[in-house]
Structure 1
């Protein structure tokens, strides 16, 4: 496996995974456009599950937690081109084009983009920079390419302006509902706070009122309870669930489980 090539660090990436499936939990900080070159890409969030194959495109809204699965197919390498649509650049485009901003987007957070010749040609135009990465693209040229991508997106699917140019702050969402849906993601408490539209101090204060304990303590307890449920009622193996429940290692999971319930997860019949 090789690491993703950054054509322009933080803006344009070319991902390449040779013949092996890869799963990861990601915090999507920026709006992101993904073009699938080969293989299968799937994204699962608390509200959506989307998959796409070669030639398909997906626009991912900023400020989301999700599990991404990258799967090679038919003895082909897994390949994607990823365009990061950072807010600073989107604000510049909105000013240049006099786009009305300030409205809160309320549609689906992840949108499959209908394939068309213009977007296909755009991604084809990025390929030469991928294949000749040694200083072939300047920051100015990369910025122009990203602007081109934004204009083509708006042209291909009217209404995307509301998603792309939503610069409103995350609204203060239902913290209890959000945490019960997303507790298994292994991300810092600071990101949970941001995603619920709160400062870290405000998040901890509201969390204590709702759950009666600190966030880190609750997350540990909730993940362990879910683990016991999966092991006892679903006959799941500890090695098959510890990563999905936000534990970084099997040994850490087993130690925490035994401390909580008095016996190791491997001692359960299965």
Structure 2
């Protein structure tokens, strides 16, 4: 099923996403509430009125939270690779700015206000926005963003797949993200087979066992040193299920995550 290029989301309760790896850049406008994106080394906070351009192929976890009695409402535009390639090719634009891997936050601007005001009526439609209109509005968004900040070319105009990265450095920084090994391989520029081989050569252990150990060690630190609850920690360190986390924790350390001075559930 093809994902819409323009859509609106409303979260009346706190909503925690799983790992976020956008296959294409996305422009997000926060209408109300708060949106957080936690990367490997920092957390971004966005509030009502903020407009942020998110890069593709960057790891993070997204949370959407009501604020001041209002739900978290966001409008999103996705920029598909073929759409961006067509724009840069047809306009004979060869990006000459450095690559961008961090989100770009835009200050309020008349062009942005006009763009999103023009989108609002479409969300009253019973069906998805017609493809030709969606394509027109996405191209308008590209032109608006480039007019406001030409540096967006460093994020929009890069179409190559991830190159081969230093495996040890990448895994040490991103092990807490709950991804299949195929995705870890892709993000480090490797096939699954090559990823497993390079991983074994570097760490002398299988990826699955290493990931479990690292996540449990981080969980132990968060619970016993930072006094966090196991129910708060297990998702942050890369586990999907609390009971599985508790079982793995006890098997590894010999005691429950709630024992001793650990916080209660």
Q: What TM-score, normalized to structure 1?
A: 0.90
- The reply on whether 1:49 has 2:43 as its aligned counterpart is yes
1:34 is paired with a residue of what secondary structure? strand
1:25-81 per-residue CA deviation (whole Å, 9 max, x = no partner) reads 312221110011111122121244322211211011100110212121111121000
The answer as to whether partners of 2:55 and 2:100 remain within 8 angstroms in 1 is no
1:106 to 99, 103, 116: 99
1:31 to 25, 32, 44: 25
What residue in structure 2 maps to residue 206 of structure 1?
198
What residue in structure 2 maps to residue 182 of structure 1?
174
The answer as to whether partners of 2:36 and 2:63 remain within 8 angstroms in 1 is yes
What residue in structure 1 maps to residue 123 of structure 2?
130
* Structure 2 spans left out of the alignment, 5+ residues: none
2:182 is paired with a residue of what secondary structure? helix
Cα deviation, residue 237, structure 1: 2.4
In the TM superposition, what are the counterparts of 1:8-157 in structure 2 within 5 Å?
9-18=3-12, 20-24=13-17, 25-100=19-94, 105-134=98-127, 137-157=129-149
Q: Distance in 1 between matches of 2:14 and 2:88?
A: 38
The answer as to whether partners of 1:105 and 1:166 remain within 8 angstroms in 2 is no
Q: Distance in 2 between matches of 1:162 and 1:43?
A: 21
Q: How many residues align?
A: 261
- The reply on whether 1:239 has 2:254 as its aligned counterpart is no
1:64 is paired with a residue of what secondary structure? coil
Q: Distance in 2 between matches of 1:10 and 1:129?
A: 13
Cα deviation, residue 108, structure 1: 4.5
Structure 1 stretch displaced more, 180-189 or 148-157: 180-189
Q: 1:39 to 1:223 in 2, by over 3 A?
A: same
* Structure 1 spans left out of the alignment, 5+ residues: 1-7
